Every structure is written in structure tokens, then in C-alpha cells.
Amino acid sequence: MRVAWPSTAGIAGVDEVGRGPLAGPVVAAAVILPLTGTLVGLDDSKKVPEAMRTALAAQVIDRAVAYGLGWAEAAEIDALNILEATLLAMRRALLGLASVPTLIQVDGNRAPALTGVFMGRCVPMVTVIGGDGREAAIAAASILAKTWRDRYMQQAERRYPGYGFAQHKGYGTAAHVAALRRLGACQLHRRSFQPVRSSLASGPQGVGVSDG
């Protein structure tokens, strides 16, 4: 249990990935970069090739003053809605920081609640539309969150074979929707999302996949 925070240190960038997929968690990262130095190639994670993302994520972890990861599972997304689950993931990422930032920059136009996050310290927070392509700390968070989530979904392929999670990472590709119709939904699927609801209503056409 954390009982004290180190002194404040730099700007924290916050971003999320995985709002749109039909399966898997929504994942957020918070990253405080050093005040000096550069990371070549930082950008919106969607614009960075996979091999470069992996290399950049390792550099972010190695050089960051602090970083935190947070996520909300499919069941939480269904219970809260995707927006509230995303804000919850961001809050959890900020809770994972080992240092208190001087400022928080959040990608987009919505920010999580900070009540209780920094042991009563007041930290200013701003939203930055398109921030993952404009602010280094947000771009670093974007890279870290996407790399973590992609790895999670690749590992999920072994637990839930047949859906193609390693390829599409839970997004609603034609192959994924076809697998949903054939197998039905597994534990990772967001039952509040329309294609998943439709597959549950019609029932699997083949042998189901166990969640056990």
C-alpha cells in the first residue's frame, strides 16, 4: 500500500486504446517523460508501424520518470458504458504513477476524475484534442497502451482459439464477425456492442468456446 508520494516531476500524458473493438479491455497509460532528452519516432500509435511501436514502448519504459497502466475489462464496459469505462481505465493508469506530475495532459476532450488519486494534492489537468500527435508525453502513453493491449490480445488467442484475436486484436473485422456467428461470444466479448448482441440473439452456428 502506498503511503507517500515522491516529489512532483514533469508532465504526465494520458491516452487510451481499445474503445472500438468488440472484445478485450480498453487500456490506458499515463507517462511522465524526463524534462530533457528525446525519443525519436514518437507519434499517435495508430501511425507507427508495429515493430517501431514495440521498440518505442521499451524505450518509454526505460526512460520514463514514471508510468502507469490501467484497464477496464469487457464486463466493466458492459456495466458502465465505453466512455465511463475509458475514464476508469485512465484513472487507474494515473493511480499507477510513482510520482506526482506537475500537469496532466489527456488526449481527447474528456478527462477522468482525480479525487483521491494523488493523496489530496491538486494537480492541474487539461484535455488536448489530437494530443497523441502533438504532445510527446501523450504520444508515449499512446504507444505504451497500444503495445500492452496488442500483447494481451495476442495471448488471448491461446485461451480463446478460433476468433483470430492475434490478428484483429478484437476489432470488428469481417473474419471476427464471422467467428462470432459461428462460435458465439466468449468472456472477452463486449455484450453491449451491437454485433455481439446480434450473435448472442441468433446463437452460435457451431460448437461454442468454453470460458473455463
Q: What domains are defined for the chain?
A: 11-156 (3.30.420.10), 161-202 (no CATH)
Name 164's Cβ contacts closer than 8 Å, sequence gap at least 6: 157, 173, 175, 176, 179
Strands 26-32 and 11-17: antiparallel
**Tens-place pLDDT, residues 161-174:** 999 999 999 999 99
Structure letter (DSSP) for residue 77 = H
| CA–CA distance, 13 with 29 (Å, rounded to integer) | 8
Q: What's this model's pTM, rounded to 2 decimal places?
A: 0.90
pLDDT of residue 40: 86
Q: Nine-digit cell at 92?
A: 487507474
pLDDT of residue 182: 93
User: Which of 71, 40, 12 has its CA nearest to residue 80?
Assistant: 71
Most confident of 2-6, 114-118, 166-170, 195-199: 166-170
Helix (H) or strand (E) holding 91: helix 82-95
At residue 198 the predicted structure's pLDDT band, cuts being 50, 70 and 90, is confident
On whether the CB atoms of residues 138 and 15 are closer than 8 A, the answer is: yes
What average pLDDT does the structure give for the chain?
90
Is residue 209 scored above 50 in pLDDT? no
**Tens-place pLDDT, residues 111-121:** 999 998 998 78
